[in-house]
């Protein structure tokens, strides 16, 4: 990204997002949707956003855009992680990016007054970023406006996450914790035992709970994370299949090919050909 902060709207949103295949966003971003509909998958989660939604786009995760309405009014505030770490923020002594990405749910529909405050802040930030009238304190104004946006998102995440966590059952808590940990460690840890031990339960119990709540076993969920990452790299990078198999921590290219065909019905090479003309 040329600048530490870039704001995209409905006119240039395709400069940030990709369609028709899984991919990793190049940068994290705050998404603010005022009007229209946006459907996508984030790792294994299907997400539908509509009027007055805000969300965090996490560059570590795999996204696939499924539907974008024609009447979209949207801001995407993309930023460098290093930029947030230099801001004088006071959020649990953590940098803002780490704070948000550690939350289990990062998309919320807001009331109109709260949403409008965020929208107006981003609109002002966009105007300052695009202005050719550089003032003495131009960079400071940008940092403070972006910091304000971070705090607004922080308040939103804090209020909504606390409320949602009060309502979930023990089984759902186990599932959410498992999904979060798989998202963080699936490249290095593909065995169910690793995740079960973190919650002080047996692998059998974890898989039984996963099957009851999600319809899939723990092993199937781990495999699905690996497949999402594999498809993203095959469809949107120029890495060789050998390099991808090493990235995904397979012992060799043959093992990766066998795994991929088992879970998709086709080889990595055949899958990749769809996107390479």
Q: pLDDT tens, 185-212?
A: 999 999 999 999 999 999 999 999 999 9
Cβ atoms < 10 Å from Cβ of 65 = 18
Cβ atoms < 10 Å from Cβ of 108 = 20
Query: Residue 54's closest CA among 14, 100, 106?
Result: 106
Confidence of residue 167 (pLDDT cuts 50, 70, 90): low
**Max CA-CA distance within the chain?**
63
Query: Residue 97's closest CA among 56, 125, 132, 138?
Result: 56
**This prediction's pTM:** 0.80
Confidence of residue 156 (pLDDT cuts 50, 70, 90): confident
**Mind listing the pLDDT tens digit for each residue in 175-187?**
888 988 998 899 9
**Mind listing the pLDDT tens digit for each residue in 245-276?**
999 999 999 999 999 999 999 999 999 998 87
What percent of the chain shows pLDDT beyond 70?
Answer: 90
Query: Residue 44's closest CA among 25, 62, 23?
Result: 62
**Mind listing the pLDDT tens digit for each residue in 86-111?**
777 765 434 444 445 555 557 889 99
Q: How far apart are CA 218 and CA 214, in angstroms?
A: 10
CATH architecture of the region 170-273 = Orthogonal Bundle (1.10)
Class of domain 5-167: mainly beta
Q: DSSP for 105-157, please give it.
A: --EEE--HHHHHHHHHHHHHHHHHHH-S---TTHHHHHHHHHHHHHHHHHHHH
What SS3 state is found at 213? helix
Q: How far apart are CA 164 and CA 227, in angstroms?
A: 29
**Mind listing the pLDDT tens digit for each residue in 50-97?**
999 999 898 989 999 999 999 999 999 999 888 877 777 765 434 444
The continuous run of DSSP H or E covering 193 comes out as helix 192-198
What are the domain boundaries of the chain? 5-167, 170-273
């Amino acid at each position: 990204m040329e600048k530490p902060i870039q704001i995209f709207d409905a006119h240039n949103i395709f400069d940030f997002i990709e369609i028709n295949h899984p991919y990793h966003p190049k940068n994290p971003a705050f998404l603010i949707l005022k009007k229209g509909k946006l459907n996508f998958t984030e790792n294994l989660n299907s997400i539908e956003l509509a009027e007055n939604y805000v969300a965090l786009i996490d560059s570590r995760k795999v996204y696939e855009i499924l539907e974008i309405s024609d009447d979209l009014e949207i801001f995407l505030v993309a930023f460098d992680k290093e930029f947030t770490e230099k801001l004088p923020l006071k959020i649990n002594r953590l940098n803002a990016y780490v704070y948000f990405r550690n939350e289990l749910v990062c998309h919320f529909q807001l009331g109109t007054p709260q949403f409008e405050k965020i929208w107006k802040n981003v609109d002002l930030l966009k105007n300052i970023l695009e202005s050719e009238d550089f003032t003495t304190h131009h960079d400071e104004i940008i940092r403070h406006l972006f910091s304000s946006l971070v705090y607004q998102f922080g308040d939103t995440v804090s209020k909504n996450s606390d409320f949602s966590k009060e309502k979930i059952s023990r089984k759902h808590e186990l599932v959410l914790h498992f999904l979060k940990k798989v998202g963080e460690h699936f490249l290095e840890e593909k065995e169910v035992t690793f995740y079960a031990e973190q919650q002080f339960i047996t692998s059998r119990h974890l898989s039984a709970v996963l099957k009851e709540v999600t319809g899939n076993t723990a092993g199937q969920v781990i495999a699905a994370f690996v497949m999402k990452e594999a498809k993203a790299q095959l469809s949107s990078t120029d890495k060789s299949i050998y390099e991808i198999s090493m990235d995904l921590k397979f012992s060799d290219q043959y093992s990766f090919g066998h795994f991929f065909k088992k879970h998709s019905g086709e080889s990595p090479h055949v899958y990749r050909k769809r996107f390479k003309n």
